[in-house]
Amino acid sequence: MNVLSMEKRENKLLNRIEVIARVEFPGGTPRRAELREEISKRLGKPVDLVFIRKILTEYGKREALVTATVYNRKEDALKFEPAHIIKRNEEGGKGK
CATH of the domain at 59: 3.30.70.330
Convert the pLDDT of each residue in 48-83 to its tens digit.
999 999 999 988 899 999 999 999 999 999 999 999
Q: How many domains does the chain have?
A: 1
Specify if 37 maps to a domain: yes
The model carries a pTM of: 0.88
Specify if 58 maps to a domain: yes
Specify if 16 maps to a domain: yes
Percent of the chain with pLDDT over 90: 85
Residue 28 lies in domain: 2-90
DSSP, residue by residue, the chain: -EEEEEEEEEETTTTEEEEEEEEE-SSSPPPHHHHHHHHHHHHT--GGGEEEEEEEE-TT-SEEEEEEEEESSHHHHHHHS-HHHHHHHHTTS---
